[in-house]
Structure 1
Amino acid sequence: MTMLRAERVTLGYGKRAVVHDVSLDVTEGGVGLIGESGSGKTTLARAFLGLLAPMSGAIWYGDQTLKNADMRAFRRDVQPVFQAEALDPRMRIGSSIAEALPRGERARVGQLLEQVGLDATLAARRPHQLSGGQRQRVVIARALAVGPRLLILDEPTSALDVTVQARILDLLAGLDTERLLITHNLAVVERLCRTSHVLFAGRVVESGPTRELLAAPAHPYTKALRDAVPKLGGAPPEAKGRTEAVPAATGCAYRLRCPIAVPECEQAPPLRDVGGGRQAACHLAGDVT
């Protein structure tokens, strides 16, 4: 089932477009948006949350465009999970969670804290009195307060140490809600998302089942992201291509960095099927090694 869908969406700030003609579905099993900083992941997430209107195209919520949807139902069904720093430092933890609850249900604060593995007595504390991992759990508890069907998570573990990350991932994997995860952490997306979309310079360059996409990338950018992950006990990864090059203004946006670029890359490649439920925007898709 598709709850949210982007249909040929272009997004920007002022007159400058930063996400270009993106189409993708948020389906069951978790969906990941992967890419480096500036790739358009968070901008697309803002559009899915109704915080940014498309310059062209549309965001669909069920069978209605988001601008025509019942926003009260939408806010109940779709909740953001930001990083722990989003908590108001002036508010006690219990008050921060209770904001999302109807007046008659505010006694549920303790239950929500326990649901995310925290002691109910932490409701009396302020954010600075909690660890980073505890604060991130509070953010998740607040999002769960309205009983959402979908969580949109923007780098939910990026500021946490490895052991705390593992506990947060266990928590998210065990929740009975769907997930749209924005991240550059490939291990996190592999754990939480059945399907993933790789963005570069505001364009989807590869899509497909997460495990297959990471195991055998069809686009050289996906391969570069995978190969940049350090391996325990191994030598530091070596970058290939011109990693400092800005996206190309014409043709394939990745061609100035790409180690396998050919003259044909001066023409923009379409996103096309490459088998196994995969798509890639690369003239040489399938030849990536």
Structure 2
Amino acid sequence: MTLLRAEEVTLGYGRTPVVRDVTLDITGGGVGLIGESGSGKTTLARAFLGLLTPVSGNIWYGDQNLRKADMRRFRREVQPVFQAESLDPRMRVGASIAEGLPRGARDRVPQLLERVGLAAGLAGRRPHELSGGQRQRVVIARALAVEPRLLILDEPTSALDVTVQARILDLLAGLGTERLLITHDLAVVGRLCRTAHVLFAGRVVESGPTAELLARPAHPYTLALRDAVPKLGGEPPRARGRTEARAAGTGCPFRSRCPMAVPECERAPELRDLGDERRVACHRAADLTA
């Protein structure tokens, strides 16, 4: 079942377009939005949360246009999970979690803390008295308080060290709640998401089952992201698709950075089906997947 859907959505700030003609579904098993800073991931997430209105296209919540949906119900069913710094430093942990609960349900705070692996006694502390990992768990507990169907997570582990990241990922994987994950970390997407969409310059350039997409990228940008991940004991990351160059103004937006660019890339590629739920916008996809 599709929980949220973007249909030919274009988003921008003022006259500056940031996301262009994006169509994608949020269905079961976890969905990842991958891309470097400035690719449009967070802007698209804000639209899915109802915080931005598309310049064109529509966001669908089930079979309802989000502009006409029951927003009280929507806010209960779709919850954001921001980074730990989003906690109000003046509020005690218990008060932060209880903020969205009806008065009669505020005795659930200890249960929510225990659900995310924290002691109930932490409810009386303020954020500065907790570690980074504990604060992130509080943010997750706060989102879970209204029993949502979908969590939208924006870089939930980016400020944490590796061991704490692993614990948070284990927690998220075991919650049983659907999730949309915005990240630049391919390992996190591989751990939490069945499907993934790769954004470059506000456009989806590749999408499909995460395991297949990471094992056999069909777009040079996806390959560049994967090859940029350092491997313990391995060779240094390759400089394929360097980040200094801007998106090309015409044709394929990645062509000014692409080591596989050919004259045909002066014509913008359409997002097309490759089979097995995979789509790609690249003239050279057959060469990469052969």
1:205 is displaced (CA, Å) by: 0.1
Which residue of structure 1 lines up, in the alignment, with residue 129 of structure 2? Answer: 129
Aligned equivalents of 1:238 and 1:64: distance in 2?
A: 45
Which residue of structure 2 lines up, in the alignment, with residue 180 of structure 1? Answer: 180
Which residue of structure 1 lines up, in the alignment, with residue 30 of structure 2? Answer: 30
The alignment status of 1:6 with 2:11, answered yes or no, reads: no
Unaligned runs of 5+ in 1: none
Count of residues in Structure 1 that have an aligned counterpart in Structure 2: 289
The alignment status of 1:262 with 2:266, answered yes or no, reads: no
Which residue of structure 2 lines up, in the alignment, with residue 278 of structure 1? Answer: 278
Aligned equivalents of 2:203 and 2:104: distance in 1?
A: 45
Matches within 5 A, 1:40-55: 40-55=40-55
Name the SS of the counterpart of 1:288 in structure 2.
helix
Aligned equivalents of 1:96 and 1:158: distance in 2?
A: 22
C-alpha distance after superposition, 1:9-60 (max 9, x if no partner): 0000011111000000000000000000000000000000000000000000
C-alpha distance after superposition, 1:127-170 (max 9, x if no partner): 00000000000000000000000000000000001110011001
Which residue of structure 1 lines up, in the alignment, with residue 195 of structure 2? Answer: 195
1:288 is displaced (CA, Å) by: 2.0
Identity %: 80
Unaligned runs of 5+ in 2: none
Name the SS of the counterpart of 1:287 in structure 2.
helix
Name the SS of the counterpart of 1:279 in structure 2.
strand
Which residue of structure 2 lines up, in the alignment, with residue 165 of structure 1? Answer: 165
Q: Are the counterparts in 2 of residues 274 and 286 from structure 1 also a CA contact under 8 Å?
A: no
Aligned equivalents of 1:241 and 1:198: distance in 2?
A: 15
Q: Are the counterparts in 2 of residues 97 and 109 from structure 1 also a CA contact under 8 Å?
A: yes
Name the SS of the counterpart of 2:286 in structure 1.
coil
Aligned equivalents of 2:243 and 2:90: distance in 1?
A: 42
Name the SS of the counterpart of 2:109 in structure 1.
helix
Q: Are the counterparts in 1 of residues 220 and 241 from structure 2 also a CA contact under 8 Å?
A: no
Which residue of structure 1 lines up, in the alignment, with residue 118 of structure 2? Answer: 118
* Stretch moving more, 270-279 or 215-224: 270-279
1:236 is displaced (CA, Å) by: 1.5
Give the letter for the 1:259 counterpart. P
* Stretch moving more, 110-119 or 237-246: 237-246
Aligned equivalents of 2:168 and 2:98: distance in 1?
A: 22
C-alpha distance after superposition, 1:68-99 (max 9, x if no partner): 00001100000000000000001000100010
Q: Are the counterparts in 2 of residues 112 and 141 from structure 1 also a CA contact under 8 Å?
A: yes
Which residue of structure 1 lines up, in the alignment, with residue 288 of structure 2? Answer: 288
Give the letter for the 1:131 counterpart. S
Q: Are the counterparts in 2 of residues 186 and 226 from structure 1 also a CA contact under 8 Å?
A: yes
Name the SS of the counterpart of 1:50 in structure 2.
coil
1:242 is displaced (CA, Å) by: 4.1
Aligned equivalents of 1:237 and 1:185: distance in 2?
A: 15
Name the SS of the counterpart of 1:79 in structure 2.
strand
The alignment status of 1:78 with 2:78, answered yes or no, reads: yes
The alignment status of 1:222 with 2:228, answered yes or no, reads: no
Q: Are the counterparts in 2 of residues 9 and 23 from structure 1 also a CA contact under 8 Å?
A: yes
Which residue of structure 2 lines up, in the alignment, with residue 67 of structure 1? Answer: 67
Which residue of structure 2 lines up, in the alignment, with residue 102 of structure 1? Answer: 102
Q: Are the counterparts in 2 of residues 242 and 256 from structure 1 also a CA contact under 8 Å?
A: no
| Normalised TM-score (structure 1) | 0.99
